[in-house]
Amino acid sequence: MGRLLHSNIQLGHAWVWRAAACAVLMVGLLLVGCASGAPNAPAAPTVLAAPVASGDLNALLTAAQTALDGGNLAVAEQSYRAAVGKNPGSAAAQFGLGNVLVRLGKLAEAEIAYKAALAADPRLIAAHANLGVTYYQMNQLPKAADEFIAALKLNPNDAATTYLLGAVRLQEKNLAEAEKLLLKARDLDPKLPEPYYGLGALYQVKGQKAEAIAAFEKFLEIGPGQDPQAAEYARNELKALQGQ
**191 lies in a domain?**
no
Backbone dihedral region for residue 163 (phi beyond 0: left; psi -120 to 50: alpha; all else: beta): alpha
**13 lies in a domain?**
yes
| 37, burial (CB in 10 Å: exposed 0-12, middle 13-18, buried 19+) | middle
pLDDT digits (tens, 9 = 90+) for 77-101: 999 999 999 999 999 999 999 999 9
The pLDDT value given to residue 234: 93
| 167, burial (CB in 10 Å: exposed 0-12, middle 13-18, buried 19+) | buried
**Cβ atoms 181, 163 nearer than 8 A:** yes
**The dihedral of CA 144, 186, 39, 123: what is its sign?**
negative
pTM of the complete model: 0.80
The pLDDT value given to residue 35: 31
3-class DSSP state for residue 153?
Answer: helix
- For the chain, report the end-to-end CA distance as a whole number of angstroms: 33
**20 lies in a domain?**
yes
For residues 244 and 241, give the distance between their C-alpha atoms in angstroms, rounded to a whole number: 5
CATH number at residue 120: 1.25.40.10
State how many domains the chain has. 1
**Cβ atoms 24, 17 nearer than 8 A:** yes
Element spanning 177, H or E = helix 175-188
**66 lies in a domain?**
yes
Structural domain including 22 reads: 4-173
The pLDDT value given to residue 22: 32
The pLDDT value given to residue 26: 60
**140 lies in a domain?**
yes
**44 lies in a domain?**
yes
Positions in the chain whose pLDDT score sits under 50: 1-24, 28-53
The pLDDT value given to residue 188: 98
The pLDDT value given to residue 54: 54
**213 lies in a domain?**
no
**19 lies in a domain?**
yes
The pLDDT value given to residue 11: 33
116 backbone dihedrals φ, ψ, rounded to 5°: -65, -40
